[in-house]
Structure 1
């Protein structure tokens, strides 16, 4: 019954920004660890508000994740809205709306819901142009995390059985983190706190809200991540891993 959630059926295509298709229903992935922030004029990329946010951050990985996610969101909106093609990047702002639990992108008078996820420097971004039920999550697959102990403490008993019945540690870890990204993605898609989705059976919850899930394991140069998208069954979301930022028009 749950087997299709572990099929790794999501297609992820490597590309550079110059060859990126039109951005509607697009998830962009990028390894922000490869960024050298010294090569960027952050004042030309980030709004005044975003500059105050990043200046408060001390961790370099967190800084890189923040810059990469905001830059990619702004470039995505330029591909979907040609009327904004000449708007400077630092005139586009992102801020979190506490009432809707959504990260919003503000450009001129337009407000667009977005979705982002990041883990250990690997970043994913998307625009939710139709404000439909959509969310995605990235999580590093770690064999050193006490995932069996965590599952028994937080997960539904059926999910725990699914994890502990796997034949080896790698399979158990893959199953634990797949369930985790399903729960996180569903939380984002339905604007529910993740705390309220830890103990329910996530497979049943997806059925109740009539949402589909697509997943894949993603390998970077140094780490392995689990990626899940939760979305309307009629929406064809596409994923692209950006291989090179040098062709991005920075202005």
Structure 2
């Protein structure tokens, strides 16, 4: 398992010229007014319709922040206007995709995108080189009945590890399962009861912690470490 390196950097340092772009941002820092202004400046009509379906303010902030990060990085790399890019969830391929915004035919952009969010924290992974990519973050809560959950949902070998090693292992297996589900495009429900360790062999597995969150990333790229760019602001 490789290393995750949290590093605070300016948004201008984020680039798709690297093999893997990994960013994290606390969308709770946005006021409702800021979120609304950014949505007006960044989102296409289709994305605005998706945003309007979110009821909770936290969910709206997460949506705007994640789309903003993706679109700003792509716009800079491809020399496009931010609103020329549309981010949408492909139901057939069960993943996020990016295209040039058009009302009819879609001109797809050759980038792998995977996101995760929890309690306002937004994690975005992007790559022009990776063909299989999965990422997840989860807040570690000591008060959660994590051992009972493991015994109910996880494979017996995973549960035995958790009984021996404790809460950290529970959350690490949790984020690995979620990231794997995204990387292989399978419902998480199919992986919960499986021992996923053998399924991780084809991937580079990168895990770590940021604040009280556990993070796991899976990629088919042969990289030794991933720099987690901590964003204080969006541009």
CA contact (8 A) 1:137 1:181 kept: yes
Q: Is 2:31 aligned against 1:42?
A: no
Q: 1:194 & 1:72 partners in 2: Cα distance?
A: 25
Distance 1:11 1:179 in 2: 19
**What is the DSSP-based 3-state SS (H/G/I as helix, E as strand, rest coil) of the residue aligned with 1:104?**
strand
Give the corresponding residue for 1:214.
206
1:28 alignment partner in structure 2: 23
**Normalising by structure 1, what TM-score?**
0.83
In the alignment, is residue 238 of structure 1 matched against residue 227 of structure 2? Answer: yes
- Are 1:101 and 2:89 an aligned pair? no
Equivalent in the alignment of 2:198: 204
Q: Is the 8 A contact 2:112 2:131 kept in 1?
A: no
Question: Which stretch shows the higher mean deviation, 39-48 or 232-241?
Answer: 232-241
**Residue 17, structure 1, aligned to residue 11, structure 2:** yes
Q: Distance in 2 between matches of 1:216 and 1:149?
A: 24
Q: What is the root-mean-square deviation of aligned Cα atoms in Å?
A: 1.8
Change (3 A) 1:229 1:179: same
Q: How does 1:98-137 map to 2 (within 5 A)?
A: 98-107=91-100, 109-111=107-109, 112-130=111-129, 132-137=131-136
Q: For 2:131, what is the secondary structure of its paired residue?
A: coil
Q: Deviations over 1:162-207 (max 9, x none)?
A: 11113xxxxx221111001111111111111111111111212112
Listed as ranges, the matches of 1:36-115 within 5 Å are 36-39=31-34, 40-81=37-78, 83-84=79-80, 87=81, 89-107=82-100, 109-111=107-109, 112-115=111-114
Is the 8 Å Cα contact of residues 206 and 217 (structure 2) preserved in structure 1? yes
| CA contact 2:14–2:21 (8 Å) conserved in 1 | no
1:95 CA displacement: 1.0
Distance apart, 1:41 and its partner CA: 4.5
TM-score, normalised by the number of residues in structure 2: 0.89
* Structure 2: runs of 5+ lacking an equivalent: 102-106
2:62 and 2:52 mapped to 1: Cα distance?
13
- Name the SS of the counterpart of 1:10 in structure 2: strand
Deviation at 1:216, TM superposition (A): 0.8
* 1:160-199 equivalences in 2 (<5 Å): 160-166=159-165, 172-199=166-193
Q: Unaligned 5+ residue runs, structure 1?
A: 167-171
Q: Distance in 1 between matches of 2:94 and 2:123?
A: 18
CA–CA distance in structure 1, aligned partners of residues 220 and 112 of structure 2:
16
